[in-house]
């Protein structure tokens, strides 16, 4: 499943931009996971999050 550490997320929006089927930006300005399935797209985003807030397993 895909998880975002809300304490690390700085709200850059990159994940929601790269992979909108998995991530949306919440009202608090932080990323939220809307689909926990580990897709290729979600894996790519893990490596690109600037603060390593996303994990997949
Ligand atoms: S890429 Fe990382 S820091 Fe940026 S919004 Fe997504 S989880 Fe937050």
Q: Is the CB of 24 under 6 A from ligand 1?
A: no
Q: Please tell me the predicted confidence (pLDDT) of residue 8.
A: 98
pTM over 0.85: yes
How far apart CA 30 and CA 40 sit, in angstroms, is 22
Domain extent listing, the chain: 2-51
Atom 6 of ligand 1, residue of closest alpha carbon: 15
pLDDT in tens, 14-45: 999 999 999 999 999 999 999 999 999 999 99
Q: Please tell me the predicted confidence (pLDDT) of residue 6.
A: 96
Tokens at 12, concatenated? 């850059």
Q: Please tell me the predicted confidence (pLDDT) of residue 48.
A: 97
Residue reference for tokens 């994990």: 55
Q: Please tell me the predicted confidence (pLDDT) of residue 9.
A: 98
Atom 8 of ligand 1, residue of closest alpha carbon: 9
Q: Please tell me the predicted confidence (pLDDT) of residue 47.
A: 94
Q: Is the CB of 2 under 6 A from ligand 1?
A: no
Q: Please tell me the predicted confidence (pLDDT) of residue 54.
A: 98
What kind of architecture, by CATH, is found in domain 2-51? 2-Layer Sandwich (3.30)
């Amino acid at each position: 499943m895909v998880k975002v550490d809300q304490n690390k997320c700085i709200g850059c929006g990159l994940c929601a931009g790269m992979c909108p089927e998995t991530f949306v930006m919440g009202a608090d300005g932080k990323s939220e996971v809307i689909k926990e399935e580990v897709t290729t797209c979600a894996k790519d985003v893990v490596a690109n999050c600037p603060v390593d807030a996303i994990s997949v397993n």
